Structure 1
Amino acid sequence: MSERPGFKTLDKDLGRITHAEVAQMHAFRPVWRLGLSMLALVGVLLIFLALSGAAPGVLATGAGLIVAAWLGVAIGSNDVANSLGPAVGAGAIRLLPGLLLVAGAGLLGAFLAGGAVSDRLAGGIIDLAPVSQGIRGPMVMVAALIGAASWITVATGIGLPVSTSHSIVGGIAGAGAVALGVTAVHWTTVLMIASVWMATPLVAGGLAGLLLAFLRAKVVDVPDRGEAALRWLPGMVATMCAAFAVYICVLTFDGSRLILMQPAAAALAGAAGYGVTHRGVLRELQDHPKKPSTKRLLRPALLIAVVIMGFAHGANDVGNIAGPLSVILKGQVPDWQIGLVPSVILIGAGLAIAAGTLLFGRRLVNMVGSGITKLNAGRAFCVSLATAVTVLGASGFGLPVSTTHVAVGGIFGVGFAREYLDRRRGARHDAMPVEETRRRMLVRRSHVVTITAAWLITLPITACLGALACALVLRATGV
């Protein structure tokens, strides 16, 4: 019996994500054990301080660096498959060069675009001005890092996918409420960030669905796919490259230099993207003139999406480390202004994320690759690009978001768009058994429930853990 489309494609893609999440848990075990060791080491430092009367600033710096380094490794190792998986699966790039490319793009994103999110986390969630010259502010951020790291470690151990960005926001709010009072927390900012967490998956889903509709209308579902690809794909990739180059220029230059550099950078990047894609499409048409593969036609586009996705990941997630760490290190260098994260911290945090990508990314992409990278190349491209654009937009406004949750929103958008287009095309299929229809509905609901539960649970739990850690740290240091 043939199957009606219904939500077949969406269920298939979500099923692959389910298998990928299971594989991801196993691949993440070495980092998880490293997290347990990190928490134990921080605990020993706290006990040592309480017994020896060592300077609180030494503890804050040491504990903050330890926890921040582990979080960077965890972020880099855990999210690399989101960026790299589809391109490796499509054969656009090999694993090792891909890891190097993602690590480099992430580091560049951290340095050029990570300041807004980092500044928001350093001084936008709690008011540190009353304690700007003391050690209490750094201790708040140490406690926030400990609370977030504790929850990520526990959640990973029990198999619950949680977001580092959500955890850090909750940890800062909880620790700040204990150390500085509930009124010191900017609750309107916390609510704004939380609303963005709900909105960004919807935005990514809408963008991914529109991209898929465009690809199918102009390239995939036309009689002569090769000619259509030669007409549309090079220009599409050129536009992507030019827009990304303009974005980089806005981050890097200002004034007259920006006016001069923008057109040149856009022209060069657009020409490079057009040339690479045009050559790749011609090669595919020469090798397979009668039936060109969409997967191979989209290889250059997927490769560009890898770079943009890696950049976006570094731009947004570096703030989870650099923001709190800048407040901690300010206790040792008082000239730093709260809320203004120095470039050296952005680079250091970016290096920690890059180290996680290079050290643990190979195993993760290999294991997840059997699930996520088998997404259709066109759908994978739409999801990757929509996720990158959404995350970069959030980063520009200094809003920390979950890359994984945004990507799953893109998968939903692509799935619903495909099924809608199939129904409009009027294809007739036999009805599925009731049991199969119910099973597929449960697959979709399970993802909605998992993401919603992770979002709802993480913020209050990390706030409580951050508050508890702050109370313990302040008691141990006598601050």
Structure 2
Amino acid sequence: MTILILLFLSACFLAYSNGANDNFKGVATLFGSGTTNYKKAINWATITTFSGSVAAIFLANELVKNFSGKGLVPNELITMPIFAISIASGAALTVFIATKIGMPISTTHSLVGSLFGAGVMAVGSQFNFEKLGGTFLMPLIVSPLMAAIASFIAYLIFRFFRKQLGVTKKTNLNIHKKQVATINSLHMDAPTLKTKTVIETTVNNKTEVYEGGILGLSSQKVLDALHYLSAGIVSFARGLNDTPKIVGLLLIINIIDIKLSMIIVAIIMAGGGLLNAKKVGVTMSRKITPMNSGQGFTANLITGLLVTTASIHGLPVSTTHVSVGSIFGIGTVTKKADYKMIGKIMLSWLLTLPTAAIISALIFKLLGIFS
């Protein structure tokens, strides 16, 4: 019973780390474009991600099977709690460390690395390397490239139709008042203070808005509504795609119903996002490329479509990889992408799989010694 409790706690830790690193990614464009503030963005992400997690009960059974390790290792290994504990702990620690330093990595990638590390440590050459490459690694590698290309093309198309409709862009400076204290006496032995109001603005305090109408409605209001909807779709898709991956590790605990497991995982994921998502959120929102609401909407639309399609077909793509790819595609069109930051993110992606593999292999070895 102790080992089963440890497995459950490991899955909960993974769910929390996943929420902390991933929950804000769906709404990063809302915050980055200035459409809304951080608090409203994370609240919207929490609601829509939780909805996707609930929908996973009915739509994502194939992913649950994939991330139980079925087909990668012999069936008798899957029924060993220490195997699932090693996978959950290795992935959770990898994601948690990345969250603390503000790097948006893939929980999916971490799970694949952990499956590989614990699996090879347990069965060696009996591990199904062919399935690892075809079912897991290929979607992870191809999906960000597809997202970047798709968002690049989609934004060009949307920009063309925007111009045809006569909708134009205008840059606004967000000016605010600031109270400044000044010395109001020349007598240094008894100086007096006085405050005055100054107008302040900064280079990073600009927002782009759209002027013109669509079917008699304000183009900016229509776009903001679509932007919120697209952010919700991405967060929904993430909940749909990630929840079953974590629940797959709990399949061997027959005393816990899969539906109940998904609800528990969904709640803990929501808590992780609410409590610990800001560092990764700022990286995604502000450090890849500046964007306006139209560009954010386009990136979200592509991300949501790709991740939802992958989830329904049982393909374990990474919402992180797809979302970063989509945002980068927009930055490529606008020529404002921060290639140095993209390089740092890609390096963290390269390190994710081996880090998770090493941690999970060591945990499996230690649990085997002491169990």
State whether TM-score is above 0.5. yes
Task: Give a deviation string over 1:83-141, Cα, whole Å, max 9, x none.
Answer: 22323455656655543432232122223234332221014353342356x5xx22101
Deviation at 1:408, TM superposition (A): 1.9
Matched position secondary structure for 1:375: coil
Among the aligned pairs, what percent are the same residue?
26
After TM superposition, the structure 1 = structure 2 runs for residues 28-67 of structure 1, keeping only pairs within 5 Å, are: 57-59=1-3, 61-67=4-10
Determine the C-alpha separation between the residues in 2 that align with 1:406 and 1:455: 13
In the alignment, is the contact (CA less than 8 A) between 1:383 and 1:410 conserved in 2?
Answer: yes
How far the C-alpha of 1:210 sits from its partner, in A, is: 2.2
Shift of 1:205: 1.3
Counterpart residue number, 1:109? 52
Matched, 1:225 2:167: yes
1:182-206 deviation digits (Å, cap 9, x = unpaired): 31x2212211221211110111112
Give the drift of 1:458.
2.1
1:351 aligns with 2:267: yes
CA distance in 1: counterparts of 2:116 and 2:281, whole angstroms? 34
1:128-163 CA-partner distances (Å, limit 9, x unpaired): 42356x5xx221010112222233344455665532
State how far apart, in whole Å, the 1-side matches of 2:111 and 2:53 are: 17
Structure 1 runs of 4+ with >6 Å offset? none
Residue aligned with 2:314, SS: coil
Mark the CA change 1:108 to 1:116 in structure 2 (over 3 Å): closer, same or farther. farther
Inter-partner Cα distance in structure 2 for 1:211 and 1:103: 27
The letter of the residue matching 2:274 is L
Q: Is the 8 A contact 2:33 2:293 kept in 1?
A: yes
- For 1:96 and 1:157, the matched residues in 2 are separated by 19
Give the structure with the higher percent helix: 1
Question: How much does 1:461 deviate?
Answer: 2.8
- Asked if 1:307 is matched to 2:232, the reply is yes
TM-score, scaled relative to structure 1: 0.60
2:302: which partner in 1? 386
Q: Map of 1:227-306 to 2, 5 A cutoff?
A: 282-284=216-218, 295-306=220-231
Alignment correspondent of 2:362? 468
> Displacement, 1:384?
1.0
* 2:370 equivalent to 1:454: no
- What does residue range 324-335 of structure 1 map to in structure 2 within 5 Å? 324-327=249-252, 329-330=253-254, 333=255
1:126 to 27, 48, 72: 72
User: Given the alignment, which residue of 13, 22, 40 partners 1:70?
Assistant: 13
Residues 212 and 418 of structure 1 are in contact (CA less than 8 Å); yes or no, is this contact kept in structure 2? no
How many residue pairs end up in the alignment? 324
**Unpaired runs of at least 5, structure 1:** 1-56, 227-278, 285-293, 420-439
Distance 2:262 2:115 in 1: 19
> Is 2:20–2:269's contact at 8 Å kept on the other side of the alignment?
yes
Amino acid corresponding to residue 351 of structure 2 in structure 1: I
Q: Which amino acid aligns with 1:188?
A: E
DSSP-derived class of the 1:392 partner: helix
* Structure 2 runs not aligned, ≥5 long: 169-212
Counterpart of 2:366, as a letter, is L
- Shift in alpha-carbon separation, 1:410–1:89, aligned structure 2, 3 A: closer
Deviations 1:208-227 (A, max 9, x none): 122211211111x237228x
Contact 1:90 1:299 in 2 (8 A): no
1:64 alignment partner AA: L
Residues 22 and 320 of structure 2 are in contact (CA less than 8 Å); yes or no, is this contact kept in structure 1?
yes
Asked if the contact 2:83/2:364 (under 8 Å) is kept, the reply is yes
Cα distance between partner residues in 1 of 2:234 and 2:354: 29
CA, structure 1 residues 371+151, in 2 after alignment: closer, same or farther (shift >3 Å)?
A: closer
1:312-353 CA-to-partner distances (Å, cap 9, x unmatched) read 1101221342111223x23xx3xx9xxxx8222222211211
* Secondary structure of the corresponding residue to residue 62 of structure 2: helix
Alignment match, 1:190: 132
- Give the distance between the partners of 2:275 and 2:37, measured in 1 at CA: 16
Q: What TM-score, normalized to structure 2?
A: 0.75
Kept in 2: contact 1:170–1:463 (CA 8 A): yes
1:122 is paired with a residue whose SS is coil
